[in-house]
Structure 1
Amino acid sequence: MEEPALPPAPGEREHLSLALANSAIAMAGGHTVDLLGTPARANHWLTERGLAPVDAGMMEMCAAQVRSLREQIRSLFASRAAGLPGLPAAVTAINDAMTRVPTAPLLRWDDKTGPYRTAPHPTTEIVDHALATVAADAADLLTGPAAERLTACGSTPCNRYLLRHGRRHWCSTRCGDRARAARAYARRTQSGT
């Protein structure tokens, strides 16, 4: 399935976590377009946002970590938008991502050669840094003044989140048009019965 040509939802340009949460897009007919569905697509998504070089060499394990963080962030955004408590596992995942990045080469100990210092694999280091950056943004969004404006798109079947401006609660003109058309159709069918 080809990638939908949707503009960024309100707030995505300011919040990487919102863009990540919206990287699996529900389409009409029950289809979902996953912008992180393959390692190459995940690498491309991170590269577009300045979080990874083009040639990072992303493997499935790393792409799966990015998709997993996306689901944890979506869970917390859904809880916040609905005024419900966040799942402890999602909070833990955000905190783990923020604290995973070492600030210096770590001390290791080999039984034969003794102590040495090493940095993680370069691709793992890139992904860990990207995850920490996005997780910190999610934490900032959830605890900052914009959190009151965080909402789910009000158009079915859309699954994107946005920062509401005024009364608007659609992620795009397309979704707003779809919601208005559905309301008009419902009015016509109710008055016809």
Structure 2
Amino acid sequence: MTTPHTGPGDAAPQPLPAAPGADQHPALALVNTRTLRPTGAFDDLADPPAALDWLVTTGLLPARRSGLTAAETGRLRTLRECVRDLFTARLAGEAPDRTALAELNGALAAAPFTGRLHWDAAGEGPRLESRPAGGTPLDAALTRLASDAAELLSGPQAEAIAACAAGDCIRYFLRTHGARQWCSQRCGDRVRAARHYARTRAAENS
């Protein structure tokens, strides 16, 4: 599950628009942190500072969190590749790699969440919150990501999981309607432009 990624000194390209569903499902956003750009493969989790920035931006770690270690960053990237493998298996209708499944289940158990009832008589009244019962803040973040992936794969939206049909894109998205093929208008426009160019060349050569 080795992943090519940009080094710390590489310039970051312009961010891509969020794929449909990624705003609601952090596991989908996690999978899409590895992309292909015109300049090659790019990884939003390429190094500890980048990984920390992604976790904070996604709301999985507090902004005051100290930096990640290389080992912690590796755990996050490993979970990403396992979730990607599970998405691929789901689309292919095949059993997933056992290592990927074990990794996801291990992340689910890293920091189990338990319910806590809070009651503010002067404010909102009773409310139920879930909090990690143990583990580190990163463990809790990995458990949230794994839980979201498991719920997505086993829930009613599983049928909507799709891989972008653009040949040079490796992102996943949730299909908002049956005919949708691309993760963004950008990919759709590029595919249509390539098809138009191919038809034009074929007409010129006929």
Partner of 2:51: 42
Tell me the number of residue pairs that the alignment of Structure 1 and Structure 2 aligns. 174
Moved over 6 A (4+): none
C-alpha contact (below 8 Å) 1:10/1:164 kept by paired residues? yes
C-alpha contact (below 8 Å) 1:16/1:134 kept by paired residues? yes
Which residue identity lines up with residue 43 of structure 2 in the other structure? D
C-alpha contact (below 8 Å) 2:45/2:51 kept by paired residues? yes
Partner of 2:175: 164
Q: Deviations over 1:95-145 (max 9, x none)?
A: 0000121679xxxxxxxxxxxxxx75xxxx111111100000000000111
Give the CA deviation at 1:173. Answer: 1.1
CA distance in 2, matches of 1:4, 1:77: 26
CA distance in 1, matches of 2:163, 2:196: 21
Structure 1 96/186 Cα, relative in aligned 2: closer, same or farther at 3 Å?
same
Are residues 1:92 and 2:92 paired?
Answer: no
Equivalent residue in structure 2 for 1:153, among 164, 172, 179? 164
Which residue identity lines up with residue 48 of structure 2 in the other structure? P
Which residue identity lines up with residue 45 of structure 2 in the other structure? L
Scaled by the length of structure 2, what TM-score is found? 0.79
DSSP 3-state at the match of 2:162: strand
Structure 1 189/83 Cα, relative in aligned 2: closer, same or farther at 3 Å?
farther
CA distance in 2, matches of 1:152, 1:160: 6
CA distance in 2, matches of 1:16, 1:39: 19
Which segments of 5 or more consecutive residues in structure 2 lack a partner in the other structure?
Answer: 1-10, 115-133
Partner of 1:18: 28
The percentage of counterpart residues that share the same residue type is: 40
Q: Higher relative contact order by CA 8 Å / sep ≥ 6: 1 or 2?
A: 1
CA distance in 1, matches of 2:105, 2:111: 11
Q: How does 1:127-146 map to 2 (within 5 A)?
A: 127-146=138-157
CA distance in 1, matches of 2:19, 2:97: 25
Q: Which protein is richer in helix relative to its size?
A: 1
Partner of 2:61: 52
